[in-house]
Amino acid sequence: MAMPSQNHDISPPAAVAEWIGDAKRGILRLLDQTRLPGDTVFIDCRDALAVNDAIRRLAVRGAPAIGIAGAYGMVVAAQFLPDSNDFHTGVEAAAEYLSTARPTAVNLEWAVRRVLRRARRTISDRYDEIREAMLEEARAIHAEDAAMCLAIGRAAAPLIKNVAGVMTHCNAGALATGGIGTATAGMYVAHAEGHVFRVYCGETRPLLQGSRLTAWELMQAGIDAVVITDNMAAQVMREGRVQMVITGADRIAANGDAANKIGTYGLAVLARQHGIPFYVAAPYSTFDLDLPGGEGIPIEQRGAGEITEGFGRRTAPEGVKTYSPAFDVTPGELITAIITDRGIIEPVTEENVRKVVGGN
């Protein structure tokens, strides 16, 4: 990835989602992240079923990227709807269908509903005009996410530039967004400004998003990345190798409780024990201010195969029982600050959350 000059205009290492063509016959092209880092393969989604499947099986993942995919998925769905009074009924059904693909990430429903509202507001007897308006809204969501990532990066970069070692979990990077990521955004900006540091990427079991994806994209950018297994985090902290932890989030409640990939809560507890600041980076669209606290965040349960037969190889006895929550919730009291595109929330309280991101 070419690094920026003085204007720090940073480009992501790969296009996660791209719309090709017009609103009537275009397609959504997604980078299949299940094939990384070994193969770079793209999926052409030509109907809502393909978009839903890509989201469910994690071909596209990360709350902002899922939202972008869902927004474009609405446009794909609209291509198959009749040019009649049933069009809007079909659009509403598509919104319901796509919103349920993954329940924890609030960005998905937020983006899908936003495209739905645009369709409802577009008064025209030419249904292709409504489809064009929907595509325009999806593209706006995509562009806004890239801008939000850069804003988060500029806010987080001074924190990154104060340390030599950073720890992150899962992938809240360019591969999870429409821009340079959330948790990684400050890393990209700090790196572009010449700061030298090392990033410890937790493997993130069972699907290894940290080792497969975060390490891959940071290496593409020339950032020093070190992969560790999840259960090495405490020792790395004890040895003084990291001076901050920063992760993304899939949904943040009004009081600052943040849902993120399973294992994040444990890192926050470890960081508190070792006196290391723990940060969450997320755009305003990740906040669900209708939820007072994290206990109301739905936690997606994944299939047993991801634990017992990860990547096609059985590593547990046939028929063994499993428990596989995809996310956990970190209490706001364990979060040093939440870095958003609208400002930094510190300390993390409901009053400060609403002050910074209220009215989203």
CB 39 within 8 Å of CB 14: no
From residue 220, alpha-carbon distances to 87, 217, 224 in Å are: 44, 5, 10
CA distance 140 to 153: 20
Catalytic residues: 250
CA distance 143 to 76: 19
**Among the listed residues 294, 295, 283, the one whose alpha carbon sits nearest the alpha carbon of residue 253:** 294
The HSE-up count of residue 294 (CA atoms within 13 Å, CB side) is 19
How many residues can be counted in the chain? Answer: 360
One-character DSSP codes across 298-353: ---B--THHHHSGGG---S-TT-----BSEEEE-GGG-SEEEETTEEE-S--HHHH
Say if strands 258-261 and 278-281 run parallel, antiparallel, or are unpaired: unpaired
Say if strands 165-168 and 198-202 run parallel, antiparallel, or are unpaired: parallel
